[in-house]
Structure 1
């Protein structure tokens, strides 16, 4: 397990695809001025996604090089695509910011928890299946992508009980407010430890 300094916390937003975890995470991250650490993905950007803002979109060959070089501390396969995190990116973000946030699927969240232990606070964001499906359709995702995501919905929902906190996301402002209040407790404690 990787050791972190006392003030270094990793807030991981997880839950089923279509739960709104990205929108919620980015809103909360902006509220606190936290740095976002991006995953690397071997797939093409979807409508509205931007390289370097949502993911680092890279070729499978470059992904293989990162993995072979031991640079990825977490790597998962979803469908035919791979997603991973570089330990170096987390380390650099900590040096600049202290607390960081990430948006990961449950498999990635679990691997990060195993790697960093109690410094990882998992925030499970969810909505019911019809809402998730509707959001994905509104986002303009292809039917095969939606079907693939929905096939994992129950398994993703089962991860809720493993997380430190869970938030139902039907109203963005309400969800962000609740999470902000929850994170205040962690961040306040960190400030006291640093005095």
Structure 2
């Protein structure tokens, strides 16, 4: 039983907005066959985002109901929108599929680390300030949101030193390759069970 628990790792992809953490995380997750746990958000989907794939986009009223019921193990307000992570979703996914991954801002990553301790492995994804700004502009993100994100850039970058691993993300294929190799060392215990 304890061996089963040891395999239930929580990989958290974090870093500044515009670092490419989502693209990297989803690529690594698909490569390794790790289940993604999705957060809840009260904002409208951005261009290209899909409900149930990027976030569970819900109404503020439903969010408040989940919050009142104590469902969220992490809840933050960013740019006037609420973002939360339900403990039930994490517990269910761990039980169903072993290790999981999430994409969270540094505040969320820290909350998860405090809740789950050594089972959480934080992967800090970053790029320089100019690059993250360009990526957000290309993604069509509202200029006011980009400004707010850039105002938080230095705070996000400082979180890097507390994470278990950090990866520069300028070349997606290279970054995904490096992270996949790193995570394989954590998942090695499962290799004998795979065909």
The TM-score, its normalising length taken from structure 2, stands at 0.95
Give the equivalent residue in structure 1 for 2:122.
122
Counterpart-to-counterpart distance in 2, 1:97 and 1:28 = 16
Give the equivalent residue in structure 2 for 1:90.
90
Counterpart-to-counterpart distance in 1, 2:106 and 2:38 = 16
The C-alpha deviation readout for 1:2-54, integer Å capped at 9, x for no partner, is xx921100000000000000000000000011110000001111111110000
Asked if the contact 1:40/1:83 (under 8 Å) is kept, the reply is yes
Asked if the contact 1:6/1:190 (under 8 Å) is kept, the reply is no
Asked if the contact 2:13/2:25 (under 8 Å) is kept, the reply is yes
Give the equivalent residue in structure 2 for 1:6.
6
Q: Say which SS state the counterpart of residue 49 (structure 1) adopts.
A: coil
What is the aligned-residue RMSD (CA, Å)? Answer: 1.4
The C-alpha deviation readout for 1:128-158, integer Å capped at 9, x for no partner, is 0000000001101111111111111000000
Give the equivalent residue in structure 2 for 1:166.
166
| 1:77-116 equivalent positions in 2, closer than 5 A | 77-116=77-116
1:58 correspondence with 2:58: yes
List gaps (5 residues or longer) in structure 2. none
Counterpart-to-counterpart distance in 2, 1:113 and 1:85 = 13
Counterpart-to-counterpart distance in 2, 1:72 and 1:46 = 23
The TM-score, its normalising length taken from structure 1, stands at 0.95
Runs of 4+ off more than 6 Å: none
Counterpart-to-counterpart distance in 2, 1:191 and 1:32 = 11
